[in-house]
Copies of this chain bind each other. A is one copy, B any other.
Amino acid sequence: MLILGIDPGTAVTGYGVVRTGTSFELVECGVIRTRPEQALPERLKDIAEGVRELLARHKPGAMAVEDVFYARNVRTTLVLGHARGVILLAGAEAGVPIHEYAPADIKKAVVGTGAATKTQVQFMLTKLLRLKAAPQPADAADGVAAALTCAMRLPLERAVAGVRGRARGGR
């Protein structure tokens, strides 16, 4: 199964496609860039089109979207919410199950600690995916990390859902 991981951004949205199976394999990674001189609605259109193209081409079985980092600037958070909204919409319209992970969850899954640095995340991505170098640019690496988190967590999440399902079924 393929997993599409996305790190939302208004200017740069990073993505990574990871294949799961007996091991993890990086299929593709990159960024969707929008032009700063364009108005927000046009930039949202470019982001939505980029994500739809990835969904259509790879037909992933799951999509992992990083939660927006909020705190520093409320206006920035709000605008990021716009970008994230059209990304979730593209996933919902493609009928792909969407998993959302906080930045700390991703760091914990990939490195083992929620306080990991970007360099540590990139180092672990290189090891886990047996790459020669960390995915470039950094935003693409964040998309790959989201996909990898989903790949590592899905078996557990499915097992838990199964146990809950059986518990509800009274078996």
Contacts and interface: CB of A to CB of B under 8 A. Distances in A.
Contact of A68 (B41, B78, B86): B78
Contacts of A62: none
A84 interface: yes
B81 A84 contact: yes
Decide if the interface of chain A is mainly helix, strand, loop or mixed: helix
B78 A41 contact: no
Interface stretch (A21-29, A89-97, A115-123): A89-97
A45 interface: yes
B98 A41 contact: yes
A1 interface: no
Interface string A36-52: 00011110110010000
Contact of A81 (B48, B80, B92): B80
Of A79, A83, A92, which is in contact with the most chain B CB atoms at under 10 Å from its CB? Answer: A92
Interface of A: 39-42, 44-45, 48, 68, 70-71, 74-75, 77-86, 88-89, 91-93, 98
